[in-house]
């Protein structure tokens, strides 16, 4: 594996300006430096300096000179992202599988693998994930340099200390994932909850309206949420924000692992849906994908199960909308992404249950990353920091890369 040394930490205004320039190029590139100055409000001199630093690090490239429409006026040299030089690694931990992926600077998944982890311990699972990543990088076969590893999972992920605090797989509780992965890869490692990471991904690569304010609701085998204003995700003390798994759902009698009855996670999770689908004879194997396939084929009993879950998701979404009043609430739920009518069912439940949201078709959206939310969330953990502070993190001037 090609490795870079961590760059010396440098913060401050020039770092923040470079982040602003890099994000503007991501959104609008190729773009002239004068236009960057105009749309960001940064001075032309600041944009010139930041662009030069980003070009020097291989994050931006200069395109051939363009003259004005008449051939008169000052010619300018637009800049664009240099996508060829770097990749990030992503590792997403789910209840039964690990997803590993290579992503480029635009958050595109270049290669991925989804592998069962058979309930191994964290050290073995991370060892295997790193081996898989090295295999993907070799198969991908280019000379891109990995600039870091992002780790995402459901549950309570303490991004500050680099430790998993509370995950439905008990063996992970207290495990120092960041230290383990840094030791194994020699790369910078960042970790976060997948709900928070998906907000970062939407801010950078998805729905622009989330930059105002957003609630992200993730529904899979774990159910959790995250909140951001002004593009900044709220973590709170020990990064505990967003734990909605054990919020009670009306009329639910499902027993939860926490000992109570009727928790959101126990009522709406993929596993509960699979169990009920097996009982109803909709699927023959306890595999969520089989249930999704039945729903896609519009099998009536499968559609009814997904509609019921969508209603429950809508009720939880309504509570979150009333609590946070965000510009948008984004649902990441494979049923909502793939089953016809599911998003409408969520919106109807929101309309019924929310005291404040009067236009769910405008405020409740499905994820921008259907079918790839897990690898994108993992990669976004590291990409978010790169786009925040590109000079302080990971990437050194090119002369520094051996």
From residue 53, give the alpha-carbon distance in Å to each of 27, 86, 235, 356.
19, 16, 30, 46
Binding segment for Zn ion among 48-56, 256-264, 320-328, 346-354 (CB under 5 A)?
A: 256-264
DSSP structure class, residue 331: E
Pick one of 66, 179, 258, 280: the residue that binds Zn ion (CB under 5 A).
258
Nearer to Zn ion, 255 or 296 (CB): 255
What is the C-alpha radius of gyration for the chain, rounded to an integer number of angstroms?
Answer: 22
Binding segment for Zn ion among 36-44, 227-235, 246-254, 385-393 (CB under 5 A)?
A: 246-254
Q: Which helix (H) or strand (E) holds 345?
A: helix 342-353
Binding segment for Zn ion among 193-201, 258-266, 346-354, 391-399 (CB under 5 A)?
A: 258-266
- Decide if residue 23 touches Zn ion (CB under 5 A): no
Nearer to Zn ion, 265 or 342 (CB): 265
Nearer to Zn ion, 114 or 246 (CB): 246
**The tokens of 9 are what?**
């930490």
Q: Are 33 and 22 in contact (CB under 8 A)?
A: no
Of residues 223, 235, 232, the one with CA closest to residue 191? 235
Pick one of 263, 313, 378, 383: the residue that binds Zn ion (CB under 5 A).
263
C-alpha 279/C-alpha 290 separation (Å) is 14
Sequential DSSP letters for 29-50: -SB-HHHHHHHH---HHHHHHH
Nearer to Zn ion, 35 or 252 (CB): 252
Binding segment for Zn ion among 101-109, 162-170, 249-257, 388-396 (CB under 5 A)?
A: 249-257
Number of residues that bind Zn ion (CB under 5 A): 5
Pick one of 98, 129, 223, 256: the residue that binds Zn ion (CB under 5 A).
256
Report in angstroms how near the CB of residue 268 gets to Zn ion at its nearest: 12
Nearer to Zn ion, 130 or 219 (CB): 219
Q: Are 5 and 396 in contact (CB under 8 A)?
A: yes
**Torsions phi, psi of 83, nearest 5?**
-90, -5
- Decide if residue 246 touches Zn ion (CB under 5 A): yes
**The tokens of 252 are what?**
């639910």
Nearer to Zn ion, 89 or 218 (CB): 218
Look at the block and give the residue holding tokens 């998944």: 109
Strands 328-333 and 364-366: parallel
**The tokens of 352 are what?**
């019924």
Report in angstroms how near the CB of residue 263 gets to Zn ion at its nearest: 3
Report in angstroms how near the CB of residue 256 gets to Zn ion at its nearest: 3
Nearer to Zn ion, 9 or 260 (CB): 260
Binding segment for Zn ion among 38-46, 124-132, 195-203, 245-253 (CB under 5 A)?
A: 245-253
Interface residues toward Zn ion, by CB under 5 A: 246, 256, 258, 260, 263
């Amino acid at each position: 594996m090609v490795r870079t040394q961590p760059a010396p930490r440098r913060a401050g205004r020039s770092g923040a300006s470079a982040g602003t320039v890099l994000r503007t190029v991501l959104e609008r590139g190729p773009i002239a430096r004068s236009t960057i100055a105009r749309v960001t409000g940064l001075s032309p001199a600041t944009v010139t300096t930041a662009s030069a630093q980003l070009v020097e690090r291989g994050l931006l490239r200069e395109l051939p000179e363009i003259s004005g429409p008449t051939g008169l006026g000052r010619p300018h040299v637009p800049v664009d992202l240099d996508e060829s030089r770097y990749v990030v690694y992503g590792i997403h931990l789910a209840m039964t599988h690990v997803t590993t992926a290579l992503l480029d600077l635009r958050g595109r998944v270049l290669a991925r693998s989804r592998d069962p982890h058979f309930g191994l311990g964290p050290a073995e699972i991370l060892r295997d994930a790193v081996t898989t990543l090295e295999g993907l990088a070799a198969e991908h076969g280019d000379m891109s340099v990995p600039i870091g590893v992002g780790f995402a999972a459901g549950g309570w992920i303490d991004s500050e200390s680099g430790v998993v605090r509370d995950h439905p797989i008990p063996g992970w509780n207290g495990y120092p994932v960041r230290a383990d992965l840094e030791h194994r890869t020699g790369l910078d490692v960042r970790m976060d909850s997948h709900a928070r990471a998906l907000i970062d991904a939407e801010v950078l690569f998805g729905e622009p309206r989330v930059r105002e304010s957003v609630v992200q609701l993730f529904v899979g085998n774990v159910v959790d949420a995250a909140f951001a204003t002004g593009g900044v995700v709220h973590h709170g003390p020990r990064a505990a924000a967003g734990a909605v798994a054990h919020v009670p759902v009306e009329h639910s009698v499902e027993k939860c692992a926490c000992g109570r009855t009727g928790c959101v996670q126990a009522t709406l999770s993929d596993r509960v849906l699979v169990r009920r689908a097996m009982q109803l004879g909709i699927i023959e194997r306890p595999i969520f994908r089989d249930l999704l396939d039945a729903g896609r084929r519009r099998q009536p009993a499968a559609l009814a199960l997904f509609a019921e879950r969508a209603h429950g998701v809508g009720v939880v979404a309504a509570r979150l909308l009333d609590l946070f009043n965000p510009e948008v609430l984004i649902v990441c739920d494979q049923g909502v992404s793939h089953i016809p009518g599911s998003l409408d069912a969520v919106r109807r439940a929101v309309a019924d249950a929310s005291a404040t949201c009067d236009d769910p078709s405008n405020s409740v959206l499905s994820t921008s990353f259907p079918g790839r939310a897990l690898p994108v969330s993992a990669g976004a953990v590291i990409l978010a920091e790169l786009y925040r502070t590109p000079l302080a993190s990971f990437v050194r001037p090119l002369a520094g890369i051996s």
